[in-house]
Structure 1
Amino acid sequence: MGKRYYCDYCDRSFQDNMHNRKKHLNGVQHHRAKKAWFDNFRDAAAILVDEQSKKPCRKFLQTGQCVFGTNCRFSHMTEREMEHLKQLAAGHGSRGPRAVSGKRGAFSEPTVEEWLVKREKRRAAQGRGSALNDEDEDEDEKRLGLDLPLHFLSIPDLPPSLLPPPPGGWTTTVQSQWG
């Protein structure tokens, strides 16, 4: 059957030869999927500049839907979302895209430095044998049962090798014999 090329951006595979690969990598669908992937990591200021340069989408304003979705060249943000975006861009700099969009559940997550300090305090409390203080944990961490910042969990469809371990740890049995 021959080698197959798998494109991570498009989530598809095809027979790997020079013609097929060149055709795919220069295709519109690949460029859109690649742009959508990298848009997940833009900061609030870049998103604000981009959204302010666009006119509002009439179809989205009338019906709440647009057939072009994320590929629409018009803005789908409401006035309220734009104000929230301006606050994020002015106050926090680059906090990441997940803290920007109201549709994905706007939340304010701590910076990595704040999270590391908080984590060290928890680890020190565990080392002394005292119980963790429930007031120190975020509601989202309680719900997920994880000791990770939320932006690490915001990328959908991670492969199992990149997922964090379950709250109780891995349940594996050690086999002492081979074969």
Structure 2
Amino acid sequence: MPLGKYYCDYCDKQFQDTSSARKRHLQGLQHQRAKTLYYESFKGQNQIQSDSFGRGTCNHFLRTGFCQYGDSCIYIHPKPQHLQNPISQLMPTSEDAIRGGMSISLGNLPPSLRPPPEGGYPPLPFVDWG
């Protein structure tokens, strides 16, 4: 049975698909450089990306409102307006729906994500699978 070919998108190379050949290629310097260049090509395209993307929120700052590391902390310190009522930031207002903004309202959520009705769910009929 002939072996298949493995194609590396980063390096634009094709070689025999064996575990040793693939491992040797993926650990090679040329592949590492090509992969790095590929991902670096996307860095400047999106203006939304920031220095803080991918970092977590400082739990100590959330609990106490103070962090001993200050600006040198490796985690994000949210602004006070985000701390006071984070739920209101997530729930859209009716104005958002009127303006046509891309927001989530309870009307367009799938049934599994909607809150239960006030009186609870109606009882299901008993089915004997016997």
TM (norm. structure 2) is 0.33
Q: Whose radius of gyration is greater, 1 or 2?
A: 2
Higher relative contact order (Cα pairs below 8 Å, separated by 6+ residues): 1
